[in-house]
Structure 1
Amino acid sequence: MSKSTTLTLNVLKENFIICRLPSSSSVPSWAFNGPFCSITKTNDELSIITIDNDQLPKDIQCERNWKCFKFLGPFSFDMTGVLTSILNPLAKADIGILAISTFDTDYVMVKDKHLDMAIDVLKQNGHKVNM
């Protein structure tokens, strides 16, 4: 990917939540709500990213108030620099992220309080952001 390549990102309208459950947990049905969810199981944990809604049990460890950028792909696996073209400008602006990759594309999440600044930074770095 050349430095001058412009990426197009869509901001998903929903608010997202990141939950941590014990690694022995089954995936709950509430995990599959909304336009995006990500489920990752390791020996240490079961992490679920999904929309924030009333179906979530109150006793689960969660981090709320995330907004999600969807990269308009798909991108081939040999294409390099896609994530770094987004992550580097956000890091320079001190905006923390959570990145998730799928077979076709990438998603980057930022805290809701940083959304406007993140959009400005990405636009200043030549990317197109659709709300």
Structure 2
Amino acid sequence: MKRLTVDIAPGDYTVCRLPAGSAPPRIEASGLVSVTSTPTEVSVVCPTEAAPDSEHSHPGWRLLTVRGPLEFDLTGVMAALAGELAAAGVSLFAVSTYDTDHVLVKATDLARAVKALSEAGHEVN
């Protein structure tokens, strides 16, 4: 895997789940906002200050974004990040967009995540 540049976004993020069939919420926030609807849930990732009320809400995540855009035929980006973080004992929540990949790690694990990615040869800003 080639060296990646990973940017750490400012602020706290929340990952939450809304009941199946919920209307996707309209979230006005700067930063990453991801709303994914499946037959069994509506999943939301967004800055904590914009998070919808949810019984299943998990704040305290930090966002790491691979600087892109990435070509669609580029392989192994998420596998490299996930493997390096897993080896360091850091769990992640992954989100991919058209241009790039994002991983969220718990704020308490951010220093370990940065160290693991840096030691693997990636540039972390």
Say yes or no: TM over 0.5: yes
Among residues 97, 105, 111, which one is paired with 2:92 in the alignment?
Answer: 97
Task: Show structure 1 runs of 5+ residues with no match.
Answer: none
Among residues 28, 37, 49, which one is paired with 1:32 in the alignment?
Answer: 28
Answer yes or no: is the 8 Å Cα contact 1:16–1:52 preserved in 2.
yes
Counterpart check, 1:18 vs 2:15: yes
Alignment-derived partner of residue 60 in structure 2: 65
Answer yes or no: is the 8 Å Cα contact 1:32–1:50 preserved in 2.
no
The CA deviation at 1:55 is: 6.4
Alignment-derived partner of residue 84 in structure 1: 79
Counterpart check, 1:41 vs 2:37: yes
Task: Show structure 2 runs of 5+ residues with no match.
Answer: none
In structure 1, C-alpha distance between the alignment counterparts of 2:14 and 2:105, rounded to whole Å: 11
From the CA coordinates, give the structure whose radius of gyration is larger: 1
**TM-score, scaled relative to structure 1:** 0.89
Greater shift after overlay, 6-15 or 45-54?
Answer: 45-54
Q: Give the total of aligned pairs.
A: 125
**TM-score, scaled relative to structure 2:** 0.93
Describe the shift of the 1:99–1:54 C-alpha distance in structure 2 as closer, same or farther (beyond 3 A): closer
The Cα RMSD (Å) is 1.4
Q: Percent identity?
A: 32
* Structure 1 residues 68-99: Cα deviation after superposition (integer angstroms, max 9, x where no partner): 00100111111111112211111111110011
